[in-house]
Amino acid sequence: MEITQLNKNSKTLSNEIQWFILALDTCLKLYFDNECKYKSVDDIEPPSLKSDTSSYAKFVTQNNLDQKERLALMLALMPHLKPETLDAFFTRNASYDRHFSEFGGIKGKNFNGFLPSGETLLFLLAGKDLKKRIQTEYFFLNNSVLFRDSILKLSFTEPGEPVMSGMLIINQEYLSLFTSGVFNKPGYSPGFPAKLITTSLPWDHLVLDPLVKSEVEEIKTWIGWNKKLKKDDKIKNIIKAGYRSLFYGPPGTGKTLTVSLLGKETGKDVYKIDLSMVVSKYIGETEKNLAAIFDIAETKNWILFFDEADALFGKRTATSSSNDRYANQEIAYLLQRIEDFPGLIILATNLKINLDDAFARRFQSMIQFPMPGVKERVKLWENAFLTYAETGKNINFQKLSEKYALSGGAIGNVLMHCLLYKENTKKEIDENCVLEGIKKELRKEGKTI
């Protein structure tokens, strides 16, 4: 974090906060018919950002945000920057001895301040004016770049509740950008059950059967071609945006590595979805967890990777109970989000047979990752021991490859065993050490040498 940029951001945000406080004070005075200098919040000019090089100013200028969008942005930022500013919304309605419904707001679990909702935004910008309220809601939900690009969003609401009653949330990446000047990528959390995965390996170290690799290359080609697709109206009318692929095969055959390398080669982040965090026993929670990921990913050009996908995408059950019906509704919801996703989604499973047949029609490709053949195993042994460990030069990898049918993952485990052996004994790695590692791997499968 650069101190200079931090200082610029702080100064700009301080000016925006003072402007926001004036706008909020004006809104409340007008609503309660108190004496006020202004006739409308619209009359209050926002601070000039001309020649301002702060992260916030650059964003506002580049996206040509108008006054109401800047107020919306500041409203969402206020709990993070100056939470006491919103304490005015705790005012109680004396007639009903409760808070004002029109103020909106959400009560936090640990946060003692006021958390604004979409209703709060409508009150701030429209006050008592019903026509203006309707226009404002339509603008933000349909036209504003803030909501379109998921910079701001409303939290999930229960069925039947007004959509604007959801909490107004700012994307954590942009919160970081506006304050520290660093565009941090989202991290794993209960509210965002996905993890960024990377690899340091180069593309030419992807050891696959030639046919499998050609199918993977097709996906890489699509990622580049998709940019043209988005600009070609004729093609868009025929081919739906997005690409869905299923990787299936035994563990350790390179499915996860392939996804990571696709991201690295094409400059896209790969987020692996933690299905144990996504799937919930509580009705409706699974949709919420999935929506949190898809809503952000749709504007980021991420690659979404569902590993062990049969845990969520398995065969649908007969609707013999209410729980079965809700489970099938969750799958239907997920299918729809996957079909509507404009980017690349890859699902991986060890057993293709476990997946619901309805998914097959939705994949552009289904790629089998078989156990590597002798030729591929030789390359995997050499990559592991000669390229990275720089050891085992006297080991006959051709012989090992012909005799033991191991996956790339298993060979990596053998390498780990040998490196630990070398660390403990201070001896060079030899074929006996490798054979001991192979024995350990085979014992996992109930086999012996």
Contact by Cβ (8 Å): 427, 391: no
Looking at residue 151, what DSSP letter applies?
S
∠ CA 244-246-249, nearest 5°, is 165
Confidence of residue 242 (pLDDT cuts 50, 70, 90): confident
Residue 213 tokens read as 């690799």
What per-residue confidence (pLDDT) applies to 426? 86
336-372 pLDDT, tens digit each? 888 888 889 998 888 777 666 666 677 889 999 999 9
Confidence of residue 318 (pLDDT cuts 50, 70, 90): low
Is residue 54 pLDDT above 70, yes or no?
A: yes
Q: Name the residue type at position 220.
A: K
Residue 254: which of 409, 366, 405 has the closest Cα?
A: 409
For residues 172, 177, 178, 180, the Cα torsion angle rounded to the nearest 10 degrees is 110
Is residue 222 pLDDT above 80, yes or no?
A: yes
Instruction: Provide mean pLDDT across the span 295-315.
Output: 78
